[in-house]
């Protein structure tokens, strides 16, 4: 039997999700969490997790509620933690505050929690409801769920194309296919991912900075796939690497053989069919604390992520221009029948200036 919720219950949890979303791009490697304390049908305390190491949403909301929390109801989008990390367990604070009921949208997939928090609360005679706005809560923390369930970073592909599906002319000119609003959105994506990834050919052709400039936010790690370690020392990624956030993912097992050792960080990764093993590269990235990766190209890199079913989400900005002969974003996938084509679900459309943004999740995605 499907549980139904009142309009007020739904409204309180929507407020929780809105609060949690304020942490976008700042809480990694932690999930985004919001919480509200309700007493007498109104919110008496609220909060959200701002960044890893700082107070959790539940604790902030309980502090704001103060004595009003006793006998109140807590709404939170993710199961409260029950273990000691950088902060104390939230479930203990909830029980000590005298909360009588907790609504949690979803169970935390983190093995350190994963039902233990709810069990703790129930043992303290606190009523627990799970499932309110669960789909929205999972999507908000899709990175967290992917990392915990698949042990790989969440991978987003992003590219801009012409109406006829070209990401550059035949002479590799691509600045700019998309308009200013679409480019600003691209910088927003960079600011909300732990790392941005491109291939060495893209660096040679476009000489990108891969930094956040058009919006406020932190610069992501800049990952470059370079099978032979031939990235030029004259590229902006090397010359402007004052923050030390450029990383060379090389097929060479011995980092000492990479000519740029000392100027950039090198992650040696094995080869697969003569090129960087993408799954191994992602596993290495996760081991280095990267929970989300934005793949910006080029065409070969985008194609291989799709071909190997490693893409979780895709953003495509289509601009109102026709190029004709040029470079396609996605190359040969071995598709001979439409039944073999990569299809998408949960597709959304948005207008950005004169451009048209499509986002969706590949059905073949491992997420």
Residues with a catalytic annotation lie at 58
Given 3-state DSSP classes, what are the helix, strand and coil percentages for the chain, each rounded to the nearest 5? 30, 25, 45
First to last CA, the chain: 27
- Dihedral over Cα of 341, 272, 249, 233: its sign: negative
**Nearest CA-CA partner of 321 in 178, 193, 198, 201:** 178
Torsion of CA 237, 242, 244, 250, to 10 degrees: 30
- Alpha carbons within 13 angstroms on the beta-carbon side of residue 341 total 6
Torsion of CA 242, 244, 247, 252, to 10 degrees: 100
- Locus of tokens 């000392």: 262
Q: Report d(CA 287, CA 140) in Å as an integer.
A: 23
Q: Report d(CA 70, CA 44) in Å as an integer.
A: 11
**Nearest CA-CA partner of 61 in 40, 47, 74:** 47
Q: What per-residue string of b and e applies to 330-342 under the rule 16 or more CB within 10 Å gives b?
A: beeeeeeeeeeeb
**Nearest CA-CA partner of 190 in 176, 209, 167, 204:** 209
Q: What per-residue string of b and e applies to 76-115 under the rule 16 or more CB within 10 Å gives b?
A: bbbbbbbeeeeeebbbbbbbebebeebbbbbbbbbeebee
Q: Report d(CA 310, CA 364) in Å as an integer.
A: 9
């Amino acid at each position: 039997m499907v549980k139904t919720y009142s309009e007020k219950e739904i409204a309180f949890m929507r407020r929780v999700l809105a609060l949690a979303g304020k942490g976008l791009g700042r809480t990694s490697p932690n999930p985004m969490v919001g919480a509200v304390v309700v007493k007498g049908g109104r919110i008496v305390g609220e909060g959200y997790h701002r960044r890893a190491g700082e107070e959790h949403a539940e604790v902030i909301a309980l502090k704001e509620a103060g004595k009003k929390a006793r006998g109140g109801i807590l709404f939170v989008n993710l199961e409260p933690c029950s273990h000691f990390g950088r902060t104390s367990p939230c479930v203990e604070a909830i029980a000590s505050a005298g909360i009588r009921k907790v609504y949690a949208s979803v169970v935390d997939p983190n093995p350190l929690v994963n039902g233990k928090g709810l069990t703790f609360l129930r043992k303290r005679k606190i009523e627990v409801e799970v499932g309110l706005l669960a789909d929205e809560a999972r999507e908000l923390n899709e990175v967290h769920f992917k990392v915990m369930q698949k042990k790989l970073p969440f991978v987003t592909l992003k590219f801009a194309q012409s109406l006829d599906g070209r990401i550059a002319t035949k002479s590799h000119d691509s600045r700019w296919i998309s308009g200013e609003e679409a480019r600003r959105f691209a910088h927003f994506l960079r600011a909300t991912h732990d790392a941005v990834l491109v291939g060495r050919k893209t660096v040679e052709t476009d000489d990108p900075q891969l930094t956040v400039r058009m919006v406020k936010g932190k610069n992501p790690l800049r990952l470059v796939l370079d099978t032979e370690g031939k990235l030029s020392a004259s590229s902006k990624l090397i010359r402007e690497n004052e923050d030390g956030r450029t990383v060379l993912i090389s097929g060479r097992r011995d980092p000492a053989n990479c000519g740029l050792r000392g100027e950039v960080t090198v992650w040696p990764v094995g080869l697969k069919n003569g090129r960087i093993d993408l799954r191994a590269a992602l596993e290495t990235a996760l081991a280095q604390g990267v929970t989300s990766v934005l793949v910006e190209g080029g065409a070969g890199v985008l194609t291989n992520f799709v071909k190997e079913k490693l893409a979780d989400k895709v953003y495509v900005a289509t601009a109102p221009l026709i190029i004709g002969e040029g470079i396609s974003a996605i190359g040969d996938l071995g598709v001979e029948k439409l039944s073999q084509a990569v299809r998408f679900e949960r597709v959304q459309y948005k207008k950005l200036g004169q451009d048209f943004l499509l986002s969706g999740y590949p059905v073949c995605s491992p997420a």
